[in-house]
Structure 1
């Protein structure tokens, strides 16, 4: 794909997300806590080194960054999102919580982000993606960019919707329909893509399906 095409796709996605969440950003955290399961467990497992760096891809309202910054007070935090509307809410939330000086935000596309350009850091100790891959059109590129941005000994942590492998088919059909209405598409190919990326980059992969397939958790770790 040409650079112009990539830029055009990113601009289209930015416009779509700003449109979808222009209003919903105000009620996003209050409503999503009931079904975006496993986010806090992921944050507890980050365990960044003292003074280490943590990046959230698709930070949205900064809800996760606020929880993580409080849980890991010695780390430095960064986040980006493609939606300026979401970032406006994120900046307000960080300021209200007194964390604006500990968390740096930027606007960027997950499929082509560069941590050096965005934040002046060449690599990151911990990167996490919380229910974002199901919303990012270039989701495989986002994984590859994250892996390329890991420092030695660094890890990429992912939580997202699974495929409801051990849940009733009707529950899957109805919930997936409601997700699709908000341009959310659980990635059936995620396990295979993670195995490919791990093998190609010499990474250790830990993949787990939880809550009867409602939640998929994965960690890719670069050896130190």
Structure 2
């Protein structure tokens, strides 16, 4: 579908990839772009419509769906990484918090906005995922909790492909490696520009892509995910 004249809602639209997605939607001629954030005062993109939203709060999600009843494109971008280095020993409350934001948050938004989008004649939902949602590669075990939330989101997205197109709702999953956002805790690694990820995200939506591998890292990880784990972790499989 075309973004021109669409009504777009981006969660976590006040910074990082979310802000870049808001800016790209406006640049492509979207009729209206809601930039959702827990504190709408932090939304600074000109011409964006700030929308108060905590994706972990069911009442806030319901209120957002009522207020933004003209949405035709939902982008579930809001996410957290709580630096859970060892999923076996770290406080489980933090693991649950990551799932609340990264998995149950998008699920709440989809449950609330699928009827809205369908009622507006159809549209698109894009779930912002990660290369880590495809595979926890060797050396990245400290991201296991975060990866698990993204893998769950990917499976939910794929499962909904069986039912949502009949309601006029297309789905896409956006994957990327390290990107220049506040969530990335390793300052030493090379990062994708958020603006480039946003451009590829909307290119994918407009092309009708089901899965968008937005950088070379996600392409490589997608290919590696097809391998036997024993090939990736030989010492551990011995």
| Corresponding residue to 1:117 among 44, 66, 78 | 66
Question: Could you tell me how far 1:154 is from its partner in structure 2?
Answer: 0.6
| Corresponding residue to 2:32 among 76, 94, 112 | 76
Q: What's the secondary structure of 2:35's corresponding residue?
A: strand
Query: Which residue is 2:42 aligned to?
Result: 89
Structure 1 stretches of 4+ with a deviation exceeding 4 A read 164-167
Query: Which residue is 2:104 aligned to?
Result: 138
Question: Could you tell me how far 1:213 is from its partner in structure 2?
Answer: 3.3
In structure 1, distance between residues paired with 2:134 and 2:160: 23
Question: Could you tell me how far 1:193 is from its partner in structure 2?
Answer: 1.1
| Corresponding residue to 1:207 among 206, 211, 219 | 211
In structure 2, distance between residues paired with 1:152 and 1:169: 45
CA gap 1:154/1:88 in 2 versus in 1, 3 angstroms:
same
**CA contact under 8 A between 2:35 and 2:48: conserved in structure 1?**
yes
Structure with more of its chain in strand, by fraction: 1
The alignment status of 1:173 with 2:141, answered yes or no, reads yes
CA gap 1:212/1:125 in 2 versus in 1, 3 angstroms:
same
**CA contact under 8 A between 1:130 and 1:159: conserved in structure 2?**
yes
Question: Could you tell me how far 1:145 is from its partner in structure 2?
Answer: 2.4
Query: Which residue is 2:115 aligned to?
Result: 148
| Corresponding residue to 2:154 among 183, 191, 202 | 191
**CA contact under 8 A between 2:133 and 2:148: conserved in structure 1?**
no
Question: Could you tell me how far 1:104 is from its partner in structure 2?
Answer: 1.2
TM-score (norm 1): 0.52
Q: CA RMSD in A?
A: 3.3
Deviations 1:10-35 (A, max 9, x none): xxxxxxxxxxxxxxxxxxxxxxxxxx
| Corresponding residue to 1:160 among 105, 122, 129 | 129
**CA contact under 8 A between 2:8 and 2:73: conserved in structure 1?**
yes
In structure 1, distance between residues paired with 2:126 and 2:151: 18
In structure 2, distance between residues paired with 1:200 and 1:103: 31
Equivalent pairs counted in the alignment come to 149
| Structure 1 gap segments, 5+ residues each | 1-45, 215-224
Q: Which structure is higher in RCO with an 8 Å CA cutoff and minimum separation 6?
A: 2
Query: Which residue is 1:126 aligned to?
Result: 73
**CA contact under 8 A between 1:161 and 1:186: conserved in structure 2?**
no
Question: Could you tell me how far 1:187 is from its partner in structure 2?
Answer: 2.0
Deviations 1:154-205 (A, max 9, x none): 10122222336567421x214x17x86xxx8642222321233232333554
In structure 1, distance between residues paired with 2:49 and 2:121: 22
**CA contact under 8 A between 2:35 and 2:49: conserved in structure 1?**
yes
Question: Could you tell me how far 1:78 is from its partner in structure 2?
Answer: 0.8
